[in-house]
Structure 1
Amino acid sequence: MNKKVLAVILGGGQGTRLYPLTAQRSKPAVPIAGKYRLVDIPISNCINSNIKRMFVLTQFNSASLNKHIKHTYQFSYFSEAFVDILAAEQTPENKGWFQGTADAVRQSLHHFKGYESEYIMILSGDQLYQMDFNKMLKAHIQSEAKITIASLPVNAKDATSFGILKTDDNNTITSFIEKPSEDLLPDWQSEVSDNMKAQGKNYLASMGIYIFNKDLLIELLEGTDTMDFGKEIIPQSIETHKVLSYPYEGYWTDIGNIESFFEANIDLTSDMPQFNLFNKGKSVLTRPRVLPPSKISGTTLEKSIIAEGSIIHGSRIANSVIGIRSRVGKGTVIENAYVMGSNRFLDLEEINNARATGVPHVGIGDRCFITNCIIDKNAKIGDDVRITGGKHLDDVETETYVVRDGIVVVKNGATIESGTII
């Protein structure tokens, strides 16, 4: 275990752009790829990099996240490894909620600054990527930097959503701007690889992944009122300390809204997905569940992921992710959709009672057609339901579903009555 580094994973704010998936859970607890949670990504990257002391900072809807981490990341009693949740708390010094990324770390500093370490790694809890943090740490140490920022080439369209930086020939950051307006972009182009140039990615964006010398981080935070790393700490530090850019050109996506979340999940079903779940050296870890294998009867499957514990009778499933303990009825077609599954199995008595009373049970009923849709956990979809998402739909919210960017999101535990057309 690398004792030089402590990892701090930021749980994010209310996650309003991922609503309604964040209505009852924090962003890091949102299910991804049918069986994981978003927080599993940074934690897995840390464990695969032999960084096994982690704090997860959170304040909104943290119960499901606490439960997931408690049941998932259990190390040996004789190990110093841990993943601890630090929820926002009132103290004599801090009487309010976290006001930004830097403020979250400042308010939690007293919990971890006494641990043996030389470096603090700050990570986001809502990004999808696979990175060897040891390489980034090595670059940080060899360059004698005080702060290192992982950077990624992006195109002009995306550049306005990120912190954009410029470097010298030694990758030392010389200037930084947070979310520049489009008219400022021509002055912020950087030298990137030919491969990135060919894709029109001429701007270096901060990935929100930082390594700080621990002593400097404490100095920058204690006794100050800075609220955010990207808007305040990083721009200010460039003037006074050596800040290094660590270039990264692998797959990385910020799960910032429903559209990016949906695309990231559907991409997992492609022949060569950008995020590789089958990479032996970079395994994504999650809660070990004792579930039976999935049972599929008479279903045509095309480029789909089926998680364990599912019972599938549908006629066709294509380009879709089907989560744990999912039920899909006879004659149902699912295309380009993410079905998150359910938290428990139904027994036969529950299913028979639901059928006798005409009330949908958890899962998807018979003869449904579902496309361009996310179905959150424990939703009850009746028979003969048609959900046809697409750009023809306006953004809207109802009691049972939300439409965002043409994607229909059925809410957690919602009931869609038989015969409904969306």
Structure 2
Amino acid sequence: MASKPDDILAQLQVARAAYAKNKPGAREQLLNLGHALVSSLELPSEAIQRMGWAEPARAAHCRIAVDLNVFEHLKESGEHGISAKDLAEKTKADEVLLVRTLKHLAAMNIVAESGADNYIGTRLSNAFTEPKYRDGLIYTYDVAGPSFRDLPEYLKSINYALPTKLTDGPFQAAHKTQLPFFAWLDQNPPYLQIFNNYMSAYRAGKPSWVDPGFYPVSERLVDGFDGSSVLLVDVGGGLGHDLQELRGKHPSLPGKLILQDRAEVISTVSGQSALFEAAAHDFFTPQPVKGARAYYLHSVLHDWGDDDCVRILEQLRPALRPGYSRLLINEIIVPDRNASWPVTSMDQLVFVLGAMGERTQGHWESILQRAGFKVTKIYSYEMGSESLIEAELA
């Protein structure tokens, strides 16, 4: 990507035209170019100010706003907004404190000002009133945040070795625990629910493998389906968000959809019996559903090291019917060069939470080969972060 402002501005014009025509990847390209333009224009002192305290303050103030229901009050106030005085009365917070907080959130384009000390909601702040996005603010600040803030000291303490153990990494150092990330979530139920809820928002609005032009669902799953009961098993599928989307965008799909996850997660799933069946299952044990058309794993394997990934896939292998069943792995594939920030930032997130990392295409192919599978095709979307790896028994 070009680094000079004039070159970036020229590319922005091209991307703008593509965006106007709803071309795939145009929105993401505009975002990437927008970040590049800022980096090409800001002074080093401005970059330090932005990274060092403007953005940390934004994150902290958003977390405070969640606790005080500020975003809800702004949304309820409508187009006329609400004064700092009235907001202070509703939240029981100090008025001066609220003004300073909201002025920074307005400067960072989270909320907007409609007058002196009068504030209105924006598209973004109104979205933060939805539970899935609100929980995203809580999760990223309370759970992931400490791991990032303590990362420099942690790496210094281990002489900059590469952490590779689920029980001994940045997350454990920050949260003073010996539990792996998911076991810690189980021991802290509010954050377990918050995490699972946010997972429904992580991909919201982004290209999905079930969208037209991504993975040919009808051609690869429906065609050739033998009419047996199970079309797809979502292994480690959380609360079933992917299955809801699959059924919603392909309502005439034949066969059953089955959701599998840990018992602690499945116990929180309710009201989806018309869309899919939910069952507790440990994916380190043999897969109980035999001969399904497809077995699907979304952002599961990036939480585990190579050897554990092979173990998980080996438990699936006996369940697949040769020449019929497909293995679908929905994951990030890190390009050899010019990776976008959504890709690199997710690599950093799984690093601080589980001492794991995202993988290149060659890395994925090696893991699948070790587990007894071969890649048939990799499906991607222009400028999308995730790809769908389709594999079958080797």
**TM class, shorter-chain normalised?**
under 0.3
- Higher strand fraction: Structure 1 or Structure 2? 1
Q: TM-score normalized by structure 1?
A: 0.23
- Higher helix fraction: Structure 1 or Structure 2? 2
